[in-house]
Chain A
């Protein structure tokens, strides 16, 4: 009896090894020859997760052996992205990477994460900071606001210390040569609520997050920190037009571990870029106020490097680096 058990155990081990080998040797021609998982470093049901799921849903026809979304949360995104960066470089694990990939390492909470661990596949969406004040605020333009900030310590709310909207406010202050009193909240919604209640002077969260309150006439947007005007809101000027050359925003995209064969990267790009143009995905993004902003791997890689350098400088200057 014991012998049979040992034999069975050995057999299963051998089979396991053979099977694992088979997956490891996946080539570009046969990709995807096995199931593929997409790692989302944030909780199921959140904004990032839902976008990932919508895209995966649109692309699933190209993955005959199934493609699934897997949430690995914690560490403000560091847990999931580290997991994805250290996966096998064969395209079986694709990671949704977000702007935190180039901010967390500089605040010292990235747990060894660095952007060059990923081979970027494609950027999917972006959202830029909108400098927003209450509708009855005395400031009607960004210049008025920043002029006033020279004499008054403006209380500017953000979605969390070291989070992207904090960095956006800091970047604007640096460019304009003023100081803000940064007030961190636990997420964008409490910051918006606090602005509505008149407890702070401005917020720097994304336009999508303030859109409904702007439409309701409770808030007004002075400018967006985007490279060019946002197509959904052509009336709102960019800070750059007004003389403040600063563009800071969040983005989401996909990456695979460094050293993944180029042919596999290209194949995933072709699947995902087609999915990003599918009517279902476009409809979903429009419904949820998200802007589709596709960059291919090469351009995305450049953006990663530029953003990484910018955020490193900003975070060092703000003294946000820990340890």
Chain B
């Protein structure tokens, strides 16, 4: 088996696709407005004609590269290239102000690599075990897992919980459209044949994330982003290495765990890692003034999510984040159904993904340390050229998924919705969470009741179900109790 995996990954074509993927990913990530989700969604149609292994690894390369690439514009322009790099701005831009952009980019590159490698190791160690455990998951467990994922909305809603819940409910409502999977009854289809199979997930995502951002960019299309800093001394110094090696693995593990939780993505991984590094630091007051920890933690954290998100995706067919949801689409198109059977019937493919993802991280490190100046050049492409290109890519991408023009309309509609959501300061992440997890919760709830012939005790019948129940309660009630305890101490 080992030989098969090695020979299937270490051939020129596949390594080439990984490198192309990572390179494209870094460029996409570096450009403000092009997110990792969008990058993967846009490259997806290109993989339809490819074999499974190179196709999936190309997408994973884009994913890994884009999550890292976001830090380049965060550090240089004080604009996160992807939402995942938002936490990197806090300290990263302070380096640039001092003229140490090169040093900050070096720390970011190596930390991203460390976080990514930690997550690949976790993926490789945990997935096969979890795949065995996954057989114990039945409808009630999947339902409670989805509910646990949805409870995360409480912590990713940003400033306003009510906006987050509203937006999550919008996502769930959208998922009602189409043929009901339990009774076969068409819901909210208004006699439109295009709605029978439901809202196509990827056009909605391209609309909400990419098109809406492109609309926003038009507002500032004539104000150029100028990179004035000189990039030098990218290779981290000895003391920076020490910081990276201390903080990187911890943040990588945090990111991996966040990645495993269904629906929670790289932006959350970055913020949680940053928060943890600050909380446990001996000098928390220095965070935000431009210290290496402030870059190492979020960057290792967000790349840690990449491997983590693939764990539930491969083992159970449950997406760890929005990108993993697209990767499920990519696998199904290849005739491969993610889930425990993948590990027994397509072992070579699974291990090739692990190894390929490791190579993607190495590629990211090498490209990051050697070609930063090239990626910085990408940032000086005028918005007047870039934005129309994004428009075209959005239209082509959403059409190519199902070769159905209706999907282009869906994408445009959600582009406009997403634009106004940005204006109203509503984060779109809960909507995506609702769209992914809503149908999973609903169909498994009803499937469980079918299996138990109407008895609700099925939801309390296994230890796994209890674990998810408890986790959900902790996520929902935990912050409130913590808040109360803090107030008590203060008074």
Chain A residues engaging chain B, CB cutoff 8 angstroms: 43-47, 50, 70-76, 78-79, 82, 107-109, 111, 153, 155, 160-162, 181-187, 189-190, 192-194, 196-197, 199-200, 212-213, 216, 320, 322
Contact = CB atoms under 8 A, between A and B. Distances in A.
Contact of B135 (A47, A72, A193, A322): A193
A202 to B, nearest CB: 13
A199 B138 contact: yes
B149 to A, nearest CB: 17
A45 B48 contact: yes
A72 B404 contact: yes
A43 B333 contact: yes
A273 to B, nearest CB: 26
B182 A155 contact: no
Contacts of A194: 138-139
A197 B138 contact: yes
A292 to B, nearest CB: 18
Contact of B403 (A73, A212, A216): A73
Contacts of A182: 450
Contact of B334 (A45, A75, A109, A192): A45
A44 to B, nearest CB: 5
10 contacts: A44-B333, A46-B333, A74-B197, A78-B193, A161-B180, A181-B453, A182-B450, A187-B337, A199-B138, A322-B186
What's the interface size class on B, roughly? 35 or more
Interface in B324-383: 332-335, 337, 339-341, 344-345
Contacts of B197: 73-76
A200 to B, nearest CB: 7
A303 to B, nearest CB: 24
A155 B448 CA distance: 11
B451 A155 contact: yes
Contacts of A183: 447, 450-451
Given A46-B335, A79-B193, A197-B137, 8 more contacts: A44-B333, A45-B334, A70-B403, A75-B196, A108-B186, A161-B180, A194-B138, A197-B136
Contacts of B402: 43, 71, 73-74
A56 B457 CA distance: 53
A153 B447 contact: no
Contact of B184 (A79, A189, A213, A322): A322
A155 B451 CA distance: 7
A184 B179 contact: no
B335 A45 contact: yes
A161 B344 contact: no
A71 B403 CA distance: 7
A160 B181 contact: yes
A200 B458 CA distance: 13
B451 A189 contact: no
B344 A153 contact: no
A78 B193 CA distance: 8
Contacts of A47: 335
Nearest to A321: B184
Contacts of A186: 181, 443
Contacts of B138: 194, 197, 199
Nearest to B179: A109
Contacts of B229: none
Nearest to A79: B193
A46 B135 CA distance: 25
A75 B451 contact: no
A74 B410 CA distance: 14
A142 B193 CA distance: 40
A179 to B, nearest CB: 12
A108 B179 CA distance: 11
A161 B196 CA distance: 14
B142 to A, nearest CB: 9
A184 B447 contact: yes
Contacts of B451: 155, 181, 183, 199-200
Contacts of A196: 135, 340-341
A44 B345 contact: no
B196 A322 contact: no
Contacts of A181: 450-451, 453
Contacts of A111: 193, 196
B333 A78 contact: no
A160 B197 CA distance: 12
Interface string B182-212: 1111100000011011000000000000000
A44 B48 CA distance: 7
Nearest to B138: A199
Contacts of A70: 403
Contacts of B333: 43-46
B403 A72 contact: yes
Given A74-B193, A75-B194, A161-B182, A50 B450 contact: no
A263 to B, nearest CB: 31
A60 B218 CA distance: 47
Contacts of B180: 161
A249 to B, nearest CB: 20
A182 to B, nearest CB: 8
B450 A190 contact: no
A160 B196 CA distance: 14
A213 B87 CA distance: 47
